[in-house]
Structure 1
Amino acid sequence: MNYHILTLFPEMVTQGLSESILGRAAKKGLLSVNAVNIRDYTADRHKKVDDYPYGGGAGMLMQAQPVYDAWKAACEEIRSRQPEELRDRPVRTVYVTPQGAVFNQQMAKEFAKEEDLIFLCGHYEGIDERVLEETVTDYVSIGDYVLTGGELPAMVMIDAISRMVPGVLANGESGETESFEGDLLEYPQYSRPEEWHGKQVPKVLLSGNQRKIAEWRRQEAERRTQERRPDLYAGYERLMSCKKVLAGDKLLHVDMTELIARGQARLVFAEGKNICLQDKVSGAYFHTAEDIKAGCRMLEILHGDAGEESGLLVLHQEFMTEPAEKYLGFRTAMTCNQIVYTKHEKLPVTGLYRMDGKPAENGVVIRPLTMEHLDAVVRDYNTISDEAYVTDRIKKGALFGAFVDGQLAGFIGMHAEGGIGMLFVSPEYRRRRIGMALETYMINLGLERGERPYGQVEIGNDASKGLQEALGLCFSKGRIYWMEREERE
């Protein structure tokens, strides 16, 4: 991620963004901050960049010419690094103003998908409207109050956006599952000592029982949100109501209930047993319907919500596949059964892998994959050939490999929506229980995180079906249908 900040005070932003997590990320090359001094682009020999506003009024206004030339210089630098076919695309330019849309976590995620972002920081009474019309793509505010300039709001947004950039945080998952995720504030946290000023750390946190700890944290997050942010809690209650409905067929709807439980769900529609959610991480839509009439009404709402942008749709009833194909231009990519690990105890690892990261009896070591393994995963995993998706999974710490004598023998991962998948074992290493070791590792990792491990098995994949049965996973009676948007010429 590259930030380009158009400002009258470049040292203010460079110094403020050079410390702590962001400073370390910059040293690793994960992000860069280019502070562009607007005064360097004024035609005035005294470096003046402001003048009186037409029509009168208090204060001074930043002039169009220096702002435009500074913006143009930043755009030229960005486009010099881009392929020829991308150079005509508008550069995302954020004007920091109290008149803009209020910044939030979802906006941070959206901005984090960009490779370059320009922030325009105003001063005085604002900026000449004409240059804003030519340059700005997003008007954004950090709250309903006025500051002396746009530098502090820009730094606030850059901090929040950077946490969504893969690799910036030590724990690749944490940026997706913190405060404000799932309409709940973060639960209280404690560190050493166990007693401070007569106050004890809650006993459940010392128990080592991850299930009880996860339940306590959820309850505390609910209580805190209800007390401090009733507006957020109202949205959370709506999702909990949906979760109760979906629990009527737990195995079939595990993908949707886990989206809610992990704080990734955005409610698109809910009426009785007709529910549509969007995964805030992958963007995929998940749809379940009581009958075809209600299901089609939901498809209309989904189409209005997503337009032509949604590329993935997961249906939970076969009767909805034809309407999705006919009216929305989707095609059925995969038909699957849900598979769910319903127990609360971890699977045994003896003979599969070791918890300390050393080679097991079979020589297997399981560890996270790095970018050096990207080509191997893209080559071997045929279901998803999208290099960008595999790159994202590796950078998020969601792909793991089994190594034998230092060689990658197989891999497995967690998809963006939360399901275990992407399992592959190289032919020369098959029949050595490596696939079982990898899936056992992922199931136990999910339990440690307080999650319900689940995935999907495509109809006809007997090898995978046999593995799931051997591990004791339960299969849904109903099927789910992964739909992809048809490519249009």
Structure 2
Amino acid sequence: MNFHVLTLFPEMIEQGLSESITGRALKQNIISLDTVNIRDFANNKHNKVDDYTYGGGAGMLMQAEPVYGAIKSVTDKIKHPCRVIYVTPQGKRFDQHMAMDFAGNEDLVFLCGHYEGIDERVLEETVTDYVSIGDYVLTGGELAAMVMIDAISRLVPGVLHNDISAETESFHGKLLEYPQYSRPFSWHGKEVPAVLMSGNQKQIDAWRLEQSIMRTRQRRPDLYDEYQKLSKCREFLLDNNKLLHIDMIELINRGRAEIIYGEDDEYLLRDINTGIGFHTKPEGAIAFAFDIEDNMKPACIILHQTKYIKQLEEAGYNNNAVCKQAVWTRREKMPARGLYKTDAGITEDGYTIKLLCRDDFEAAAKLYKGFDGDGYLYDRIMDGAVYGAFDIERLIGVIGLHEEGSIGMLSVDPEYRRKKLAMALETYIFNLAIEKGQIPYGQVIIGNEASMALQKKLGLYFSKTDIVWMENKKISVEK
């Protein structure tokens, strides 16, 4: 991931991000940092970038032209649409959800203002996001930009060296992080809670959840209220056709769900990472969630009751795909079918399974042609969500985690089929999900008999009811 910062003080940004976790990620080229001095684009010998404001008033204003030149120098180099973030007290409040959203971009451009701000005209022409880190005023945008870069970069795969870390900390699933302890066991007369010394991971996890709930209720009642609503929704889904609703249940479990509508056993959830909607209403003839304001409607909705297709079509949505949920319902890992050793990712024929990177994209696109035209596969690879099987250096099979959470994207080179390679790939990625405490599931398009047969052979269970992907292209374009 590449961060570009437009500032009057590039050294401040470089020094502030050169240490600790971000510094290590920069040295390992997991993320990159490009600082641009706005003064370099001033058209006067003193590199002056500010002037008095029209209409009078205290303070100076950064001029449009040097800011525009600095932004163009970056965006022209990137050569693809990117988000330009203006750090300002007038912006939308930065939070973990926004950090997750920004982390899905390959390039982010931060514009740091000073004095009384920046000429409005250049902001209107170039800025895509106005963001604030809080309701107070700083002397410049550099500190705020560094705060956001730190929060975003730690969500980039590989930065923390632990995929679980970013998912178990404060604000994940609407809960604050539980209290933590280190040596010595006794300090100032206070001892580490006995449960943490027990070695019983189940009891430790239960204690940590209890502490997270208690701490959130005491310190952030607003978050606790949201947590309670999501918990109620989760209980409802578990009690009403768990296999059908596994995608919604896992969305909540993974801390990615927000409730757009939730009344009378009807729920419309939204994935805070992707914006995809999930709707269910097991009973009743009329669904009210579709009557929400247009600015709340997701561009894509996964419908869990086909009887509401007509209502969605009347709201401007089209039927995109009909699927069955396929779920691994056991708590233990899948048996190592097609693999000598699941954890090592070595197949019976000696092929190696590993995470794909940018350099693997072209080979992967030749195998998996489902979404390669719109950049979807490339984005998933850059998000660290696609794995491949290699015969020495040749990519012969791919599988990945779709953006909404399901496992799929499975494709094998025709020359290597009937060698249990598809089975090995699926076993490998399902077991990775289980290691993270997730319930692995996939969505199989009706009519894909080969995939249906593979899932049954692996021991997955299918939902009896279909789910339907509905898409509103008008919303996609406008938003």
C-alpha distance in 1 between matches for 2:458 and 2:244: 19
Contact 2:40 2:47 (8 Å CA) reproduced: no
Structure 2 residue 177 is the aligned partner of structure 1 residue 186: yes
Structure 2 unaligned regions, length at least 5: none
Q: Do the aligned partners of residues 38 and 177 (structure 1) sit closer, same or farther apart at CA in structure 2, a change above 3 Å counting? A: farther
Q: Do the aligned partners of residues 360 and 116 (structure 1) sit closer, same or farther apart at CA in structure 2, a change above 3 Å counting? A: closer
Contact 1:62 1:128 (8 Å CA) reproduced: no
Q: Do the aligned partners of residues 31 and 314 (structure 1) sit closer, same or farther apart at CA in structure 2, a change above 3 Å counting? A: same
Structure 2 residue 414 is the aligned partner of structure 1 residue 389: no
Contact 1:93 1:120 (8 Å CA) reproduced: no
Identity of aligned residues (%): 46
User: Which residue, out of 45, 66, 69, partners 2:65?
Assistant: 69
User: Which residue, out of 369, 394, 400, partners 2:356?
Assistant: 369
Question: In the alignment, which residue of structure 1 is the partner of 2:246?
Answer: 254
C-alpha distance in 2 between matches for 1:40 and 1:374: 36
Q: What's the CA shift for 1:173?
A: 6.8
Instruction: Give the match's secondary structure for 1:337.
Output: strand
User: Which residue, out of 426, 439, 445, partners 2:432?
Assistant: 445
Question: In the alignment, which residue of structure 2 is the partner of 1:344?
Answer: 331
TM-score (norm 1): 0.84
Structure 1, 392-401 or 270-279: larger mean CA deviation = 392-401
Structure 1, 268-277 or 385-394: larger mean CA deviation = 385-394
Question: In the alignment, which residue of structure 1 is the partner of 2:467?
Answer: 480
C-alpha distance in 1 between matches for 2:128 and 2:449: 50
C-alpha distance in 2 between matches for 1:20 and 1:252: 44
Question: In the alignment, which residue of structure 2 is the partner of 1:41?
Answer: 42
Question: In the alignment, which residue of structure 2 is the partner of 1:321?
Answer: 309
Q: Do the aligned partners of residues 205 and 485 (structure 1) sit closer, same or farther apart at CA in structure 2, a change above 3 Å counting? A: farther
Pairs within 5 Å for 1:250-329: 250-290=242-282, 294-295=286-287, 297-301=288-292, 303-306=294-297, 310-329=298-317
Pairs within 5 Å for 1:205-284: 207=199, 209=201, 214-247=205-238, 248-284=240-276
Q: Do the aligned partners of residues 214 and 475 (structure 1) sit closer, same or farther apart at CA in structure 2, a change above 3 Å counting? A: farther
Q: Do the aligned partners of residues 457 and 213 (structure 1) sit closer, same or farther apart at CA in structure 2, a change above 3 Å counting? A: farther
C-alpha distance in 2 between matches for 1:131 and 1:359: 54
Pairs within 5 Å for 1:402-417: 402-417=389-404
Q: Do the aligned partners of residues 445 and 212 (structure 1) sit closer, same or farther apart at CA in structure 2, a change above 3 Å counting? A: farther
Instruction: Give the match's secondary structure for 2:18.
Output: coil
Counterpart amino acid of residue 229 in structure 1: R
Pairs within 5 Å for 1:107-256: 107-112=98-103, 113=105, 115-123=107-115, 138-165=129-156, 168-171=159-162, 175=166, 178-190=169-181, 193=183, 195=185, 197=187, 199-200=191-192, 203=195, 207=199, 209=201, 214-247=205-238, 248-256=240-248
Q: What's the CA shift for 1:439?
A: 1.9
TM-score (norm 2): 0.85
Contact 2:271 2:277 (8 Å CA) reproduced: yes
Question: In the alignment, which residue of structure 1 is the partner of 2:447?
Answer: 460
Q: Do the aligned partners of residues 196 and 417 (structure 1) sit closer, same or farther apart at CA in structure 2, a change above 3 Å counting? A: farther
Instruction: Give the match's secondary structure for 2:339.
Output: coil
Structure 2 residue 410 is the aligned partner of structure 1 residue 423: yes
Question: In the alignment, which residue of structure 1 is the partner of 2:87?
Answer: 96
Contact 1:61 1:126 (8 Å CA) reproduced: no
Q: What's the CA shift for 1:402?
A: 2.7
Q: Do the aligned partners of residues 376 and 387 (structure 1) sit closer, same or farther apart at CA in structure 2, a change above 3 Å counting? A: farther
Structure 1, 35-44 or 378-387: larger mean CA deviation = 35-44
Q: Do the aligned partners of residues 378 and 207 (structure 1) sit closer, same or farther apart at CA in structure 2, a change above 3 Å counting? A: farther
Counterpart amino acid of residue 144 in structure 2: P
C-alpha distance in 1 between matches for 2:126 and 2:350: 58
Counterpart amino acid of residue 19 in structure 1: E
The size of the alignment, in residue pairs, is 471
Contact 1:357 1:367 (8 Å CA) reproduced: no
Instruction: Give the match's secondary structure for 1:267.
Output: strand
C-alpha distance in 1 between matches for 2:157 and 2:14: 22
Instruction: Give the match's secondary structure for 2:349.
Output: coil
Counterpart amino acid of residue 253 in structure 2: A
Q: What's the CA shift for 1:328?
A: 1.4
User: Which residue, out of 74, 79, 89, partners 1:78?
Assistant: 74
Superposition RMSD on alpha carbons, in Å?
Answer: 3.4
Counterpart amino acid of residue 319 in structure 2: R
